[in-house]
Amino acid sequence: MRAAVFYHYGDENCVTVTTLKKPKPAANDVLVKVMATTVTSGDWRMRRADPWAVRLFAGLFKPRQPVLGTEFSGVVEAVGADVTGLNVGDRVFGSKGMKMGAHAQYVSLAADGCLVKLPDNLTYEQGAGVIFGGATALTFLRPYLESRPAQRLLVIGGSGAVGTYAVQLGRMWGAHVTAVCSARNHDLVRSLGAEQVVDYEKQPLPDPGNPFDIVIDTVGKSSFSKCRELLTDSGVYLSVSGGLREWGQMLLSHCPLSSGPRVVCRIVDENANDAKWLADYLERGDLTPVIGKTLALEEIQKAHVIAESGHKVGNLVVNLWET
Ligand SMILES: NC(=O)c1ccc[n+]([C@@H]2O[C@H](COP(=O)([O-])OP(=O)(O)OC[C@H]3O[C@@H](n4cnc5c(N)ncnc54)[C@H](OP(=O)(O)O)[C@@H]3O)[C@@H](O)[C@H]2O)c1
């Protein structure tokens, strides 16, 4: 099978396309013929080992898993003897999560992993761009938005993979959504449900005034100290790409003696329940994957450059087979 591989950490040039052995599914595994995948911020960060601590689990001197890629969509090619619920020929989408390996024409994963049927109304390209952004936005926002209508939500980075889902979830759950991104993407975020937009090239954040219940920074371009004045006293600052500073602030802001807005960081656990939840809303048309660009596997280096630029729109899809 064809796959994009990298054998040392570095820039996009360390990723090349080669031929690897097709995986064999174990008894409780599903073998998927991958039709489409994405290149995400997670992929370029892993490729660069950025932050350095990535090496502690990905390989100290070189990557243990040479194939990047988390999310994918495709067709079930074979199922292990113990698998029930999925059959050869089913259209599916899912994620390999931190195990990665989706930048390849076939992936094998446990049937009870993050793998569900692809709704009929979604193309493979759309199905590839669901889990990374959708499950992340869902994990962060659900505890604060679902069943709490009329919240005021600020999405910093509203036009990225996570941000486009965050804006849509906000709209779906009845929040008043303000999105921060460049003017190039204002029409897009408005079409997804943002009622107000801020062009970060003119001002990084909205003016303080009518405070927000929730600020979600999907791209790490703000700080809790700068957003504090934008939040209500009981508000939350959701730091999707939180580093050591934000994790420390989360501990401090949750101390019994501290008052005012709190910081929340999380590591997203992509799972079948959330994938099924997303599939249901995608099927109803309440959510739509935003596909900014589609490239071929042979253009994988170009895909890495775009993803690393920090300016990709929604999801950057890579087709695994010639179309
Ligand atoms: N906690 C977890 O478990 C978890 C899970 C998944 C992802 N993440 C993290 O989430 C982060 C976001 O990922 P992503 O894939 O959504 O990002 P992305 O798609 O690369 O975001 C790109 C978007 O950010 C916008 N942007 C750039 N600079 C901005 C600024 N100063 N203010 C507002 N928007 C700006 C760009 O808009 P313009 O083109 O208009 O400039 C672009 O559309 C990554 O750091 C990733 O590591 C964390």
Compute CA distances 78 → 75, 103, 113, 299, whole Å. 9, 19, 16, 28
Closest by CA position to 58, among listed 289, 50, 26 = 50
Atom of ligand 1 nearest to the CA of 268: 3
Peptide bond into 25 cis (omega under 30): no
Residue 100 has pLDDT above 80, yes or no: yes
**Is a pLDDT exceeding 80 seen at residue 130?**
yes
Locus of tokens 């099978």:
1
> How much helix, strand and coil, in percent to the nearest 5, is found in the chain?
30, 25, 40
Q: Is the CB of 42 under 6 A from ligand 1?
A: yes
pLDDT over 90 (residue 121): yes
User: Is pLDDT of 256 > 90?
Assistant: no
**pLDDT at position 323 over 80:** no
The predicted structure's pLDDT at residue 257:
84
| pLDDT (0 to 100) of residue 149 | 82
Q: Taking a C-beta distance cutoff of 8 angstroms, is the pair 67, 47 a contact?
A: no
Q: In the prediction, which pLDDT does 107 show?
A: 98
Residue type, 163: G
Cβ contact 133:162 at 8 Å: yes
Gyration radius of the chain over CA positions: 20
Instruction: Check whether 247 has a pLDDT greater than 80.
Output: yes
- Cβ-based neighbours of 122, under 8 Å, separated by 6 or more: 73, 93, 282, 283, 289
**What is the atom index within ligand 1 of the atom nearest the CA of 159?**
43
Q: What percent of the chain has pLDDT over 70?
A: 100
Averaged pLDDT, 283-304 = 98
The pLDDT score that the predictor gives to residue 157 is 98
Token code pair at residue 21 = 């052995």
Indicate if ligand 1 lies below 6 Å from the C-beta of 293.
Answer: no
Check pLDDT > 90 for residue 192. Answer: yes
Cβ-proximal residues to 93 (8 Å cutoff; 6+ apart), any chain? 71, 72, 73, 74, 115, 116, 118, 122, 127, 128, 130, 131, 275, 279
Q: Quick one: average pLDDT of 39-59?
A: 95
Look over the chain and give the mean of its residue pLDDT values, rounded to a whole number.
Answer: 96
Predicted local confidence at residue 182, as pLDDT: 97
Statement: residue 322 has pLDDT above 90: no
Domains, the chain? 2-130+289-319 (3.90.180.10), 132-264 (3.40.50.720)
In a 3-state reduction of DSSP, which class is residue 157?
coil
- Whose structure tokens read 């939840």? 277
Instruction: Give the pLDDT band of residue 150 (cuts 50, 70, 90).
Output: confident
Ligand 1 mean position, distance from CA 313 (Å) = 9
Residue 93 — pLDDT band, cuts 50, 70, 90? Answer: very high
Q: In sequence order, what DSSP letters do the residues of 179-213 get, joined into one string?
A: EEE-GGGHHHHHHHT-SEEEETTT-SSPPSSS-EE
Least confident window among 74-78, 101-105, 240-244, 280-284: 240-244
- Work out the angle at residue 242's Cα, subtended by the Cα atoms of residues 141 and 160, and round it to the nearest 5 degrees: 60
The minimum-distance atom of ligand 1 relative to the CA of 132 is 6
Q: How many angstroms separate the alpha carbon of residue 266 from the centre of ligand 1?
A: 16
Confidence tier at 190 by pLDDT (50, 70, 90): very high
Percentage, residues of the chain above pLDDT 90: 96
Cα(7)–Cα(14) distance, integer angstroms = 7
Q: Is 152 helix (H, G, I), strand (E, B) or coil?
A: strand
* Ligand 1 centroid, distance to 235 Cα (angstroms): 22
Beta carbons within 8 Å of 252's beta carbon, 6+ residues apart: 258, 263
C-alpha of residue 185 to centroid of ligand 1, in Å:
13
For residue 269, the SS3 value is coil
Tell me the three state secondary structure of residue 97: helix
Establish whether residue 312 lines the binding site of ligand 1, counting it when its CB lies within 6 angstroms of any ligand atom. Answer: yes
Q: List 214's β-bridge partners, or say none.
A: 153, 236
State in Å: Cα 133 to ligand 1 middle: 10
Per-residue pLDDT, averaged over 117-135, amounts to 98
